[in-house]
Amino acid sequence: MSLHKRQEIPTVLEKITHGEIAQIYLLFGERYLCRNAAQELIDRLLPENQRQVTSLQHIDGDREDFSRTLNLLKTFNLFSGRKIFWVTDTKLFYSKGVAKSVWQKAWEKNESNEPGPARRYLQQMLHLAAVSPQEMLAENIASLSATRWKNLFGFTKPQGDLSWVRDLLVDIPAEASPAKATEIDAAAMYTHAFEAGIPRDNILVLLAEAVDKRKRLYKYIQEHGVILDLAVDPGSSAAAKRDQDKVLTELLQSTLAKYGKKIEPQTVPVFLERVGFHPVAAVMEAEKLALYMGDREVITREDVDAIIGRTREEALFELTEAVTSGRFEDGLLILDHLQSSGIHGLAILATLRNHLKKLLLVRSLQEAKSPAYTKSLSFPVFQKSYLPKLKEGREEWLNLLWKSHPYALFMLFRQAARFHCANLQEGLKEILAAEYRMKGSPVDGRLIMDSLIFNLMRLELPGVKV
């Protein structure tokens, strides 16, 4: 039938209402948007008065038996009416062609101190390579050669410290197994089954975060089914930010409309900044605002300030700024607020470690003779001259630095220029020691964190002349 963008969801729903129904739907892209759109599809395909206990079957793609699902699709329903099979996180469209995209998601989740999602994406990447977590632990995935990495995953091995990958894989259960040969051929099996014909009232709804558009099944669905492309650029470019803000604004306004509420136009950017690109959080916070309003209809800046305080990311950023700027009292105060609000010490350690690692990388780049860096560089010169020359031959560091906004990089370079590499390395050692104590010592975690802040300040990290 066709390929649609998220703006065309109403069109797809309208076609279903008028009887134009496909037997297979594919929704891929941002996780929350896919699930939300799938629910809208199913509400149209299965109106409330036509639903039965057997009308809808949920299938977890991470645990899916492809052959079993296919056999169910081929089976005529004992009851009248439609039967929908809703598969979340399907692996039918996975291949090494999407492994780099999956890795990027894992890296971003780890950077955001979200180990659960990061671990899930890593497991998906291993699935694509048909290797188990235990095999990668035995080989020490962080130490794989560039050639071995490329052969397994199909893309160049990322630069930097990858020890976090091993740390996450340790917690994956031993029963997690690599892809089976039958799974690798599953997409072809599904294509053949639909080409041969399945019962008219059986409908398959597939959800995936990433797809390989070269697969024959994808092309079949594009021609005979319906595809909804709900991908959102996760980058930090101006275009990506506009796209993200548009998605969140739509979610905000649609959620408030359900409660008969509106928000002042000038307050929308404040809401977006507080929430960040987290669609689920945007909906939840919008619902909180609507309930907080009572009989009032229009949400103001004061309402947002009252309900949506500083995000965890903002507070963690303030902590790194206080530590690396030598503001001891501010650092202890922010640390206390973070821990009082339930942020685990290990998450705080991860943020500090990632920030110092970036500073160390930047400081080492500044040691290079060409291009030469000086603290007197203005932002226009940094952006138009220094940065392009620095990127030459360093594409492998794309994930570590280059996706940041140029001005954010400029400020990071200015901050790094205050340190010696040796001081930053000592700071990382202190953080590692604190992590060991946090994981294996009976000492209260708050004391360990307070001690860490003191030790980092004692090293006189900030203000070192170069």
Share of the chain above pLDDT 90, in %: 20
The per-residue b/e assignment along 353-362, b for 16 or more CB within 10 angstroms, e otherwise, is bbbbbbbbbb
Looking at residue 382, what is its pLDDT?
85
SS (H, E, C) 181-224: HHHHCHHHHHHHHHHHCCCCCEEEEEEECCCCCCCHHHHHHHHH
Q: Is the pLDDT of residue 432 over 70?
A: yes
Residue range 286-314: mean pLDDT, rounded: 81
Residue range 437-455: mean pLDDT, rounded: 83
User: What residue type is assigned to position 392 of the chain?
Assistant: E
Give whichever of 2-6, 91-95, 366-370 has the largest mean pLDDT: 2-6
Is the CATH number of domain 2-91+182-230 3.30.1360.120?
no
Residue range 379-385: mean pLDDT, rounded: 85
Can you say whether residue 87 is alpha, beta or left, with left for phi > 0 and alpha for psi between -120 and 50 degrees?
A: beta
Question: Is 195 within 8 Å of 103 (Cβ atoms)?
Answer: no
Q: Is the pLDDT of residue 221 over 80?
A: yes
Looking at residue 220, what is its pLDDT?
92
pLDDT confidence of 28, banded at 50, 70, 90? Answer: very high
Residue range 27-38: mean pLDDT, rounded: 92
Looking at residue 378, what is its pLDDT?
85
Looking at residue 52, what is its pLDDT?
64
Instruction: Give the residues across from 3 on adjacent strands.
Output: 227
Which pTM was predicted? 0.59
Question: Is 334 within 8 Å of 298 (Cβ atoms)?
Answer: no
Of the candidates 221, 195, 244, the residue with the CA atom closest to the CA atom of residue 90: 221
Question: Is 430 within 8 Å of 293 (Cβ atoms)?
Answer: no
Can you tell me the distance from the alpha carbon of 104 to that of 127, in angstroms, rounded to the nearest whole number?
16
Question: Is 356 within 8 Å of 431 (Cβ atoms)?
Answer: yes
> At a CB cut-off of 8 Å and minimum separation 6, what does 63 contact?
none
3-state secondary structure of 58: strand
pLDDT confidence of 265, banded at 50, 70, 90? Answer: very high
| Residue 242 CB coordination number (10 Å) | 11
Residue range 18-36: mean pLDDT, rounded: 92
Residue recorded with tokens 């800046």: 301
Looking at residue 103, what is its pLDDT?
87
Top pLDDT among 374 and 180 is at: 374
Looking at residue 286, what is its pLDDT?
92
For 81-175, strand residue ranges (E) read 83-88
Residue range 362-378: mean pLDDT, rounded: 85
| Residue 196 CB coordination number (10 Å) | 8
Cis peptide bond prior to 442, omega within 30° of 0: no
Q: pLDDT digit string (tens) for 137-195?
A: 888 888 888 888 888 888 888 877 788 888 888 877 655 444 444 444 788 888 888 98
* Angle, CA 285 vertex, CA 283 and CA 291 arms, to 5°: 105
Question: Angle formed by the axes of helices 445-458 and 345-366, to 10°?
Answer: 20
Stated length of the chain: 466
Can you tell me the distance from the alpha carbon of 202 to that of 225, in angstroms, rounded to the nearest whole number?
13
Looking at residue 80, what is its pLDDT?
76
Rg for the chain (alpha carbons), in Å? 25
3-state secondary structure of 280: helix
Looking at residue 293, what is its pLDDT?
86
Of the candidates 232, 248, 435, the residue with the CA atom closest to the CA atom of residue 352: 435
Top pLDDT among 347 and 352 is at: 352
The tokens describing 264, both together, are: 């002042």
Q: pLDDT digit string (tens) for 81-110?
A: 889 999 998 888 877 777 888 888 888 777
Looking at residue 257, what is its pLDDT?
94
Round the average pLDDT of the chain to a whole number and report it: 82
Q: Is the pLDDT of residue 284 over 80?
A: yes
Looking at residue 50, what is its pLDDT?
64
Topology of the domain covering 238-307? Helicase, Ruva Protein; domain 3 (1.10.8)
Looking at residue 175, what is its pLDDT?
52
pLDDT confidence of 436, banded at 50, 70, 90? Answer: confident
3-state secondary structure of 341: coil
pLDDT confidence of 51, banded at 50, 70, 90? Answer: low
pLDDT confidence of 299, banded at 50, 70, 90? Answer: very high
Domain boundaries, the chain: 2-91+182-230, 99-176, 238-307, 334-458
> At a CB cut-off of 8 Å and minimum separation 6, what does 19 contact?
none
Alpha helices by DSSP H, listed for 308-386, are 312-324, 328-340, 345-366, 379-381
Burial, 186: exposed, middle or buried (Cβ in 10 Å; 0-12, 13-18, 19+)? buried
| Residue 443 CB coordination number (10 Å) | 11
Burial, 303: exposed, middle or buried (Cβ in 10 Å; 0-12, 13-18, 19+)? buried
Rounded to a whole number, what is the largest CA-CA distance in the chain? 79
Burial, 118: exposed, middle or buried (Cβ in 10 Å; 0-12, 13-18, 19+)? buried
Looking at residue 178, what is its pLDDT?
46
pLDDT confidence of 465, banded at 50, 70, 90? Answer: very low
Q: pLDDT digit string (tens) for 384-429?
A: 888 888 877 666 554 556 566 777 788 888 888 888 888 889 999 9
Indicate the CATH number for domain 334-458.
1.20.272
Can you tell me the distance from the alpha carbon of 457 to that of 402, in angstroms, rounded to the nearest whole number?
29
